């Protein structure tokens, strides 16, 4: 198996796990777990995958992360395309399995941990504010990733720091947008559910990519010596 193909399979698997366990926790036990429990479900999924597939692909499992790495010249255009396709496939597969699990109860499936905004979702913020929130949360998340992965000496703790940062941004973001910071994680549930989740998903595709790009640019400017 070629090195590139191994990376793509790893990204697909990692995104599958993130969506299944993160979104699954929100959809099946969100009321019992609360925001903090859901946040840790997403964060622990990242921690687990970071130490398993990190040595293979870097464990992006997020198109916004891959986009930031492309801008930072740490990922080729070919691998960027391969990573994103693999991440989307993994997210849809994870959502499909979650849908099948939920559907097996015989009840209508109304939640797959999808993102959203407006009346009836979280505290009901507007589309504009959802864009602002997602850009800011993604910026913080990816700026942290760029910083902690800039030195090989951080290798042992990088996965833990990144996972805890995802917990950190989820604690604020869940009540606002459900916290995307990841276009693939948002697209998977939206494709399976349709309706408002699909009509609003553009926000959770565009805003995280913008946040990732801003993080890459800011890191290059503010950490010039380390970014070389």
Q: Is the pLDDT of residue 155 over 90?
A: no
pLDDT interval class at 226 (50, 70, 90): low
What domains can be seen in the chain, in order of their start residue? 3-227 (1.20.1080.10)
Positive or negative, the Cα torsion across 183, 144, 166, 94? positive
For helices 63-71 and 183-193, the axis angle rounded to 10 degrees is 150
Please write the tens of the pLDDT for every residue from 55-73.
999 999 999 999 999 999 9
- CA-nearest of 27, 21, 34, 184 to 108 is 27
Which structure tokens are listed for 62?
């997020």
**pTM for this one?**
0.95
Q: Which residues contact 195 (CB under 8 A, 6 or more apart)?
A: none
């Amino acid at each position: 198996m070629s090195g590139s193909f191994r990376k793509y399979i790893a990204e697909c698997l990692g995104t599958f796990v993130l969506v299944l366990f993160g979104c699954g926790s929100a959809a099946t036990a969100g009321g019992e777990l609360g925001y903090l429990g859901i946040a840790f479900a997403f964060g622990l999924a990242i921690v687990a995958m970071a130490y398993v597939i990190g040595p293979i692909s870097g464990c992006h499992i997020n198109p916004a992360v891959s986009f930031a790495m492309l801008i930072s010249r740490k990922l080729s255009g070919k691998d960027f395309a391969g990573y994103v396709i693999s991440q989307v496939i993994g997210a849809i597969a994870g959502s499909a399995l979650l849908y099948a699990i939920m559907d097996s109860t015989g009840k209508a499936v109304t939640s797959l941990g999808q993102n959203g905004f407006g009346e009836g979702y979280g505290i009901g913020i507007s589309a504009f504010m959802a864009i602002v929130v997602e850009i800011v949360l993604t910026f913080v998340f990816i700026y942290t990733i760029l910083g902690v992965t800039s030195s090989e000496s951080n290798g042992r703790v990088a996965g833990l720091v990144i996972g805890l940062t995802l917990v950190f941004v989820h604690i604020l973001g869940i009540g606002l947008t459900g916290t995307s910071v990841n276009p693939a994680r948002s697209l998977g549930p939206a494709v399976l559910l349709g309706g408002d989740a699909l009509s609003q998903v553009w926000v959770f595709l565009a805003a995280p990519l913008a946040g990732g790009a801003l993080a890459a640019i800011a890191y290059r400017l503010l950490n010039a010596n380390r970014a070389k």
